[in-house]
Structure 1
Amino acid sequence: MTIDLDAVHDTLAPMAKTIRLVVSDIDGTLVGPDKQLSPATISAAQALQRAGIALCLVSSRSAPGVAPFVSALHLQTPYAALNGGMVLSAKGDILSSLTLSASACSAACDMLDVHHVDAWLFRGHDWLVRDPAAPYVGREQRAVKLTPKVVPDFKPYYDGVGKIMGSSSDYPLLERLEIEIGAMLKGEASVHRSSNYYLDITHRDANKGYAARALAKQLGIDMSEVACIGDMSNDVPMLKIAGLGIAMGNASEEIRAQAHVSTGRNDADGWAQAMQEYVLPRAPSPNASSRGETQNEEPSL
């Protein structure tokens, strides 16, 4: 079935003229392929602060994987981990947490095992794996600076799981499982790829749209004055509800259709470009109230 991407884009609400909060994805968005913050990104984040625009981070990463970026950018705002399944204060205190049912965990892990996709569990601040030598474990460990806990069997740990992650180099398989597991666990879980090689399974309400709303609520800001920026299918729930949705240049055409505008790639300071071109010009005026004065304009690519 062919999807009319122009029609999808045309359904978006008009872009906000005032932005008070940016909710940003991390991998593929805030950081480059080297998983580092570039000088341009750091400078743009500082410019947001000077302009009175708050910045909150949201990621499929576990909380310990997000915290270093909160610290590096000197943020004093809450952040969300596990695709929104966990919302934390800037100090790392858990403000809210959504977990999968034990039956959903069992069904999802069984499906991943059948297709030989390596599964990981995230419970609280712990990352559980069965095979520490599996292809993507070392990569993830280097990226998030977190050592996994090795367990022989996941069954004793199904209670309290915030996220199941499947990792595989078979990208088409993960794309198919995104649909199949999503259908199997409809009403129980949210299933999205956070990269070509990672499939995330979280509580049905644990998505980045939920996270963006929760973070905005913590700061007393209406979603109509929130800009969201991301690059993957798990970012779509927040792009669709943002006052200003921004897709990275490295995002697929399907993802870009869900955003008001597109920016440069994450390997070419696309995040900093987006802040300079789309967000900072929409900084609130000193005399504007936080609600009720936002005007909108038509989206354009």
Structure 2
Amino acid sequence: MSGVKARPIEFLLSDLDGTLLRPDHSLSPRTLDAVRALRDAGVAFSLASGRPPRAMLQQIEALGVDLPTVGFNGGSIVNPDGSCLVRHHVPVAAAVTALLLFEAQPGIETWVFADDQWLLRDLDGPLMPLERQALGYAPKVVGSFDEYLPRIDKIVAASNDHRLLMALETRLQARTSGQAQASRSQPRFLDVTALQADKGQALVTLAKHLGVSLERTAALGDGGNDPAMFQRAGLSIAMGQAEEQVKRQADVITGSNLEDGAAEAIERYILQR
């Protein structure tokens, strides 16, 4: 590592799903211990996720996070008291473009997050029960998304056809360029968020909020929305199971989320400094 990368880390911003959480969405004892050790060492710690803020409360409590947390890939930053530090909605034109594209594709489940609710048009999708378990609350079935268009925090195309999502990601990025962001937070999820909804900018905002220079920050993640953090952080760490294009943008690679890779990263690259 360079001299800059070797400086002590004062703030770690970590992804949640696929990073801190195991595939069954649980936190391992080693991960809990590692985060506790961070706090004991005086290192600030928070979460940045594609999840709605409402779906992070259990993990926030378990990890003892007492700082603002980032939801919707940076579309919202929520203070510990529940008030919003930052909030960005998907522009209506981009939302309409994404919804028309997704709903025209067989095998795609289209989910909309707005007004602190998870909205969908039917309950038939095979991924819906898994997402319900992960989020910890049930979706609301609506006949149309139209009334929510001005207030959408995130749209998700969900599918087990990873190649289809990659193709849709490319098409949507071209169609909504300059309006919104489209990125795969996980191989089976394509997220559409506001252009300002960026984990990298969220890292900048929180570092400034904490009075920490960016060169003394670290970012940890595994998804296609995490390199935005990597590009801003003084130290970037990719999970072992991340796609190669994500790993290539990180300074170091840790183990997978099946191998307590997040805890390994905290112990090896942050606490040992």
Q: What are the residue-to-residue correspondences of 1:10-21 with 2, within 5 Å?
A: 14-21=4-11
Quick one: which of 25, 33, 38 aligns to 2:23? Answer: 33
Q: TM-score, normalised by structure 1?
A: 0.87
Indicate the SS of the match to 1:27.
coil
Aligned with 1:90 (options 80, 105, 111): 80
Tell me how far apart the structure 2 counterparts of residues 126 and 210 of structure 1 sit (CA, whole Å): 25
Number of the residue aligned with 2:12: 22
Shift in Å, 1:224: 1.2
Q: Which residue number in structure 1 is paired with residue 71 of structure 2?
A: 81
Aligned match for 1:159, one of 145, 150, 155: 150
Are 2:4 and 2:215, in contact at CA under 8 Å, matched by a contact in 1?
A: no
Matched, 1:129 2:120: yes
Match of 2:219 among 225, 228, 244: 228
Q: CA deviation at 1:122?
A: 0.9
CA 1:219–1:124 in 2, change beyond 3 Å: closer, same or farther?
A: farther
Are positions 1:207 and 2:202 aligned together? no
Q: Mark the structure with the bigger radius of gyration.
A: 1
Is the 1:21–1:55 Cα contact (8 Å) retained in structure 2? Answer: yes
- Structure with the bigger RCO (C-alpha within 8 Å, sep 6+) is 1
Letter in 1 for 2:91: S
Mapped pair 1:180 → 2:171: yes
Greater shift in the superposed pair: 246-255 or 214-223:
214-223
Question: Could you say what secondary structure the match of 1:266 adopts?
Answer: coil
2:247, 2:253 within 8 Å by CA — same for their partners in 1?
Answer: yes
**Deviation digits for residues 198-251 of structure 1, max 9, x if unmatched?**
000000110211221122222121211110000011111001211000000011
Q: Are 1:45 and 2:35 an aligned pair?
A: yes
- 2:115 is equivalent to residue 138 of structure 1: no
Which of these residues, 37, 55, 63, is aligned with residue 65 of structure 1? Answer: 55
- Equivalent-residue separation in structure 1 for 2:31 and 2:25 (angstroms): 12
> Secondary structure of the residue that 1:202 maps to in structure 2?
strand
Contact 1:67 1:92 (8 Å CA) reproduced: no
Q: Output the TM-score relative to the length of structure 2.
A: 0.96
Whether 1:249 and 2:226 are equivalent positions in the alignment is: no
Structure 1 residue aligned with 2:185 = 194
Rounded Cα–Cα distance in structure 1 between residues aligned with 2:23 and 2:90: 30
Q: Which amino acid is 1:185 matched to? A: T
1:105 has 2:98 as partner: no
- Find the aligned partners of 2:89 and 2:167 in 1 and give their Cα distance: 24
| One-letter amino acid of the structure 2 residue matched with residue 248 of structure 1 | M
What RMSD in Å do the two structures reach over aligned CA positions?
A: 1.5
Instruction: State the secondary structure of the residue aligned to 1:141.
Output: helix
Aligned length: 272
Partner in structure 2 of residue 216 of structure 1: 207
Gaps of 5+ in 1: 1-9, 283-301
Matched AA of 1:278: Y
Amino acid of the residue matched to residue 105 of structure 1?
Answer: A
How far the C-alpha of 1:14 sits from its partner, in A, is: 4.9
**Percent pairwise identity:** 37
Runs of 4+ residues over 2 Å off in structure 1? none
Offset from partner CA, 1:61-87 (integer Å, 9 cap, x none):
001111211111111111010001010
Q: State the distance in 2 between where 1:160 and 1:85 align.
A: 12
Partner SS state of residue 23, structure 1:
strand
C-alpha distance in 2 between matches for 1:227 and 1:15: 9
Gaps of 5+ in 2: none
Opposite residue 63 of structure 2, the aligned amino acid is L
